[in-house]
Amino acid sequence: MTDQRFWPPRSFAALPAEYSDYDSARVVILPVPYDATASGWGGAREGPAAIIEASANMELYDIGINREPHLVGIHTLPDMAVHAGGPEATVGRIEEVVGELLDGGKFVVALGGEHTVAVGAVRAHARRTPGLSVLALDAHADLRDSYMDTPYSHACTLRRVMESAPVVQVGLRSAQREEHDLIRERGLAFHSPQEYRAAGPESIAAQLSDEVYVTIDLDVFDPSQVAAVGTPEPGGLLWDEVSELLETAARQRRIVGFDVTELAPALGPRANAQLAAKLTYRLIGLALRE
């Protein structure tokens, strides 16, 4: 019995079959409930479920961008099973699954889980998109070569991503001395909130290539906006600033995929999951605006 007397199956935005069938959907949501390398407060493995649950409460017309993103079709996959072989094996599984979805013509949205999820997703996109660049929204440099005995820690995410594609980062306000030295020595395009505000979103978009993958660690937001993250940092970006940057990047470049990571719902109010759901939905609308 699946009539209107019953809630729809658990899926992003609680869409009816007309807009959530896999074969016809342009977008696929890939939940990855993984946080095995968390070094702050844990709980990001609960993030994908919380985002999907919160998304059922959204209005499907996004007044901020004057679009109905769900019209392209959004299918939600079951949770990806974590590989028992450890962080590297899990990254490999993410790359494999994302690659299969891309080869099937899907636009992939990965929901973490910790930020390590981005490594496998970027690798899959970079193998299929020559000249890809990455727009990273993050409070932390994530440039350690290894942390807590693995090069696939969430603290190494952007170091591993840079092995596949150049990175432009916005939101930086925390780094080890060695990471900060690396940024200066290599002239990496890592921008603090103050630098972003001074330069503006047009300047950031100009640093990106024609095809862009977007990776979002939700601690890029100020804790007044998103407290439910394992490693919060003061002095972050606000909703309108993040939205303006994504709108500008989508207008000037082609966004080919993205992830939203590091929501630990037990660490903050339910409104944080609602923000993450809205952000995911809006970025779908921006990326597939045509």
Radius of gyration of the chain measured on its C-alpha atoms = 18
pLDDT at 29: 98
> What CATH code is assigned to 12-287?
3.40.800.10
pLDDT at 9: 74
Q: From first to last of its 290 residues, what are the pLDDT tens digits of the chain?
A: 567 777 777 899 999 999 999 999 999 999 999 999 998 899 999 999 999 999 999 999 999 999 999 999 999 999 999 999 999 999 999 999 999 999 999 999 999 999 999 999 999 999 999 999 999 999 999 999 999 999 999 999 999 999 999 999 999 999 999 999 999 999 999 999 999 999 999 999 999 999 999 999 999 999 999 999 999 999 999 999 999 999 999 999 999 999 999 999 999 999 999 999 999 999 999 999 86
pLDDT at 290: 64
pLDDT at 28: 98
pLDDT at 1: 56
pLDDT at 275: 98
- Global confidence as pTM: 0.97
Residue of 173, 255, 172 lying closest to 212 (CA atoms) = 255
Q: Which structure tokens are listed for 143? A: 């440039």
Rounded Cα–Cα distance for residues 60 and 36 (Å): 34
Rounded Cα–Cα distance for residues 153 and 116 (Å): 7
How many residues comprise the chain?
290
CA distances to 26, 35, 42, 89 from 86, in Å: 31, 11, 17, 5
Phi, psi of 187, rounded to the nearest 5 degrees: 65, 40
The dihedral through the CA atoms of 126, 167, 205, 69 has a sign that is positive
